[in-house]
Structures are given as C-alpha cells and as structure tokens.
C-alpha cells in the first residue's frame, strides 16, 4: 500500500494559480502511474492529470490542457499539480492517486478504478 498526502489547496480568485503537492510513502511503486482527480459537490470524481514515475509521460483532461501541469520529483517521492488560469469550475476537492498494480496499462489512466491508493484530498476553491 502507498500512503499519499496532498497539500497546497486553498482559496484563490479566478485567473490565479495554485500548486498542489502529493507526497508518497510506503510500498515501492516504480514503473507506475500517479494521477490527480477532482470531485465537486454532487458530482463524480473526474480525472485531471497523470504521470508515469519513470518516464515522465503525462496525460491531461481536455478541460485543463494548457492550464495545468503535472510533474514529479522522484527523489522526494512527490507529485505536483501546477494550476494556472484557474476558473470557478475548477472548484473541487483534489485527490492524488497511485496505480500500484499496473491497472492503468489496460484500464487507462483516465479511469478511477485503475488506481489502488488515494489521498484524503485537498480543497481548491476558485472565486469569481
């Protein structure tokens, strides 16, 4: 099992920026994928971005392309989500997730059920 702790959320005005961090600990997870999802009140948990630990290959939801950037620091076992040009529609709880079993390779990294371990989330609120 991988333990994940998110931080960096907060309240920001539209057009502003935030950087989320997710620190991972526990079981080794080389050659796996880390993802960010978000969930707004009354809505499903949606894919935001993902990155492969070893290769750095990234994926993004269409709604955040060009505004958000996912990155990782392998030495610190930390994944980041830089969020720029934030919109009120970006308001949600943001969750970090780890694919330890490799299910993203056949379920796809956009799929919620492909991830094994989850953080508790960090709230992002964007005011208009």
Q: Determine phi and psi for 106, rounding to 5 degrees.
A: -125, -20
Q: Which of 76, 99, 101, 100 is nearest to 7 (CA)?
A: 76
Tell me what pLDDT residue 84 has: 98
Positive or negative, the CA dihedral 43, 93, 126, 21 is: negative
3-state SS assignment for residue 87: coil
For residue 128, the tally of other CB atoms under 10 A from its CB is: 9
**Is the Cβ–Cβ distance between 35 and 96 less than 8 Å?**
yes
Q: Determine phi and psi for 54, rounding to 5 degrees.
A: -85, -40
Residues of the chain with pLDDT under 50: none
Q: Which of 59, 61, 54 is nearest to 70 (CA)?
A: 59
d(CA 9, CA 49): 16
Tell me what pLDDT residue 113 has: 93
């Amino acid at each position: 099992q991988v333990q994940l702790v998110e931080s960096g959320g907060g309240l920001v005005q539209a057009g502003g920026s935030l950087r989320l961090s997710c620190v991972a600990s526990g079981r080794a997870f080389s050659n796996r994928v880390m993802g960010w999802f978000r969930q707004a009140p009354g809505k499903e948990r949606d894919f935001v971005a993902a990155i492969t630990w070893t290769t750095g290959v990234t994926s993004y939801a269409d709604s955040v392309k060009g505004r958000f950037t996912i990155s990782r620091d392998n030495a610190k076992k930390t994944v980041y989500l830089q969020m720029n040009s934030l919109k009120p529609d970006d308001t949600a709880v943001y969750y970090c997730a780890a694919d330890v079993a490799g299910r993203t390779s056949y379920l796809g990294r956009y799929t919620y059920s492909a991830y094994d371990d989850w953080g508790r989330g960090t709230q992002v609120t964007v005011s208009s």
